[in-house]
Structure 1
Amino acid sequence: MSPTARRSAPAKSRSVIPQVSWRAPQPAPVVLVSGPEEVCAERATAGIRDYLKAEDPSLEVTDVRADDYAAGTLLAVTSPSLFAEPRLVRVGGVERCSDVFLNEAVAYLSQPQEGATVILRHTGASVRGKKLLDAIRAGEGGGVEIACPAIKRDSDRYDFAAGEFSTARKRIAPTALRALVSAFSDDLTELAAACQQLVADVPGDVDDRIVERYYGGRVETSAFTVADLAIAGRYGDALIALRHALASGADPVPLVAAVALKLRTMARVAGSRESSSAAAARLGMKDWQVDRARRDLVGWSGPTLARAIQATARADAEVKGASRDPVFALERMITVIATRAPFAA
């Protein structure tokens, strides 16, 4: 890591205050919402507001910018009014805070105002405000921390979406969840909105047909949808999905990568007779990934899986320049995987 990168990444101090999930936020005199994932941070902030509003509808809500701060504002908006209504103060931009705000916020921790909840939003984009964060994490002000780390990996997005349905006490089929996550793999905000729409609109369980009806245009172009259909042996459907994906502008390289990822996972799990949790711990995977790979392996043998991996490796080289016809390379790969037989030219 370069010196510049080290300076821009905030060093997180050891925290002695309660760590609260953004899915179940709890109010406290001071709430530190840390980390770059805005979707989770917004949920946490909204959850605290709703909690306090349910306790007392007269809640006063004030927004303050730490990077455009007027001296005395924090004390003014947290001080009780004539009727002593509860106060919620949402402070944004703490990672860019002014010196005036930093000094007043640190001083506030020594004597938080009764009936006031102060939410401090720090994205972690800089070390600015570290003195304040260290004080909060050391227990000054009676605070809690809600961490909102970045959600970038496919497994993290899958867990995020699964949590959306679990929190709403609604069941979704694993294949439907995978299709939904794949359809919105490039935008967590859109994925969250899609999950909430299905939660609100669908009275019962969510299955593949429902996801396809709502988001079929996006799901059809997903690389993982192509991979799932081919591995399931649905040859015709896999070719149709592949052509839809290519027609919508999908790049052949990620398409092959999605197939390769699933086949590698299947190969790692193949032959394991231990429990899902034990296999996941040994392989550095999630339990659901092991369960999904085992379902995918139904109907496969060692020779057919090896043949599919070889066909995928060949296609990977061809779509990266070893062939003049990447589309043909993709179709041949799908044929070998879906039919589980050698390709007949």
Structure 2
Amino acid sequence: MTPAPRRPAARSASAIPQLSWRAPQPAPIVLVSGPEEVCAERAISGVRDYLRAEDPSLEVSDLRADDYESGSLLGLTSPSLFGEPRLVRVSGVEKCSDTFLTEAIAYLQTPQDGATVILRHTGASVRGKKLLDAIRSGSGGGVEVACPAIKRDSDKYDFAAGEFSAASRRIAPAALRALVSAFSDDVTELAAACQQLIADVPGDIGEQVVERYYGGRVEATAFTVADTAIAGRYGDALIALRHALTSGADPVPLVAAIASKLRTMARVAGTREPARELAARLGMKDWQIDRARRDLAGWNQGALAIAIQAAARADAEVKGASRDPVFAVERLVTVVATRAPYGA
């Protein structure tokens, strides 16, 4: 799928307005593009709520572009007897049928008055590119809401921070970091966790609140093991590891958490740039740089190299190269916490 990474460049040259998924607005055509489903769902719901607030009689209909019956789009967007506003949500545009593609492109030439058509394209394929190009050229009077993938830790941190900011709620930086760590593998669950805290917790949200709600998450436990091992607290690290394993934690995320922190330390080690400049260059956050520099206290280049090699070995072993993944993660914790080769 090599064309997919090039789409942002195409959007930047678009002739139509680019809207944030947090603040979408209706238009005759609303293109919701990109793979991040939680953002796309928010954008689509936001357009619906906007239109419904203007007129509660809004008619909402759904179509599938990949299972499309000829004439459906025009039929659902045509004015009704009483002239209610219409919203048509079209999913699966990235796998649309030829019939839908032909009719959608024709619809752009004469959009129906009072109708809003939302086209959802995940970017999973180049199918429908002719339609997207037509929309982005300005045909149909459309707008685009981009929903790029949220993969990097810094992007997840920004996403979660935005959830609380949008709700005019304050969360302590340490609490926000703990929350992101607890749901680092699933943006949808991260969004749900943010909304639960916003709904359930009055006032400011601190680290203890996040720990009370989500301290049992495997990922949070994994980072506890990683933090204590990297700090050189060997006994505490083994206790945390045993607690994690008896609580049902899988060795894979435990190793991944340690390896992630070691990689960040390696990227930061030896640099003297200000945190903000280094963070911008590495695609990280200021606090990640500061934390990595604190984690590097007591480490030298040789010990860090040994730990990274041990993490690579453990990663392979917990993913099937060893019959005893628990021993593999125990050995890694020992190497990291003692900052020496295993058995030295």
Q: Normalising TM by the smaller chain, what interval?
A: 0.7 to 0.9
Give 1:211 shift: 1.4
- The separation in 1 between residues aligned to 2:313 and 2:142, in whole angstroms, is 56
Give 1:207 shift: 2.1
1:309: which partner in 2?
304
The answer (yes or no) to whether the contact 1:89–1:119 under 8 Å persists in 2 is: yes
2:163: which partner in 1?
164
1:78: which partner in 2?
77
The structure 1 residue matched to 2:335, chosen from 308, 333, 336, is: 333
1:53: which partner in 2?
52
- The separation in 1 between residues aligned to 2:203 and 2:193, in whole angstroms, is 16
2:288: which partner in 1?
289
RMSD: 3.2
Q: Provide the aligned length of Structure 1 versus Structure 2.
A: 333
Letter in 2 for 1:212: E
The answer (yes or no) to whether the contact 2:231–2:337 under 8 Å persists in 1 is: no
- SS of 2:81's equivalent? coil
C-alpha offsets along residues 227-283 of structure 1, whole Å, 9 cap, x if unaligned? 234445666654332222233454546534432432443454456565432222344
The answer (yes or no) to whether the contact 2:233–2:337 under 8 Å persists in 1 is: no
- The separation in 2 between residues aligned to 1:157 and 1:194, in whole angstroms, is 13
Q: Which residues in structure 2 correspond to 1:3-18 (within 5 Å)?
A: 5-6=1-2, 9=4, 12=7, 13=10, 14-18=13-17
- The separation in 1 between residues aligned to 2:249 and 2:218, in whole angstroms, is 12
The answer (yes or no) to whether the contact 1:180–1:219 under 8 Å persists in 2 is: no
- The separation in 1 between residues aligned to 2:148 and 2:175, in whole angstroms, is 25
Letter in 2 for 1:259: I
Give 1:58 shift: 1.6
C-alpha offsets along residues 15-59 of structure 1, whole Å, 9 cap, x if unaligned? 221111111111111000111221111111001111111122121
The answer (yes or no) to whether the contact 1:220–1:241 under 8 Å persists in 2 is: no
- SS of 1:217's equivalent? coil
C-alpha offsets along residues 145-164 of structure 1, whole Å, 9 cap, x if unaligned? 11112223333323222222
The answer (yes or no) to whether the contact 1:15–1:138 under 8 Å persists in 2 is: yes
The answer (yes or no) to whether the contact 2:230–2:337 under 8 Å persists in 1 is: no
Give 1:225 shift: 2.7
Larger deviation: 266-275 or 240-249?
266-275
2:226: which partner in 1?
227
Larger deviation: 192-201 or 236-245?
236-245
- SS of 1:43's equivalent? helix
- The separation in 2 between residues aligned to 1:161 and 1:56, in whole angstroms, is 32
Give the 4+ runs in structure 1 shifted more than 6 A.
321-324, 341-345
- The separation in 1 between residues aligned to 2:322 and 2:104, in whole angstroms, is 61
The answer (yes or no) to whether the contact 2:153–2:284 under 8 Å persists in 1 is: no
Larger deviation: 115-124 or 165-174?
165-174
Closer/same/farther in 2, CA of residues 307 and 16 from structure 1, 3 Å limit: same
- The separation in 2 between residues aligned to 1:276 and 1:40, in whole angstroms, is 30
2:27: which partner in 1?
28
* TM-score, structure 2 normalization: 0.83
1:116: which partner in 2?
115
Closer/same/farther in 2, CA of residues 102 and 283 from structure 1, 3 Å limit: closer
Q: Which runs of 5+ in 2 are unaligned?
A: none
Larger deviation: 56-65 or 212-221?
212-221
2:210: which partner in 1?
211
Larger deviation: 181-190 or 111-120?
181-190
Closer/same/farther in 2, CA of residues 195 and 125 from structure 1, 3 Å limit: same
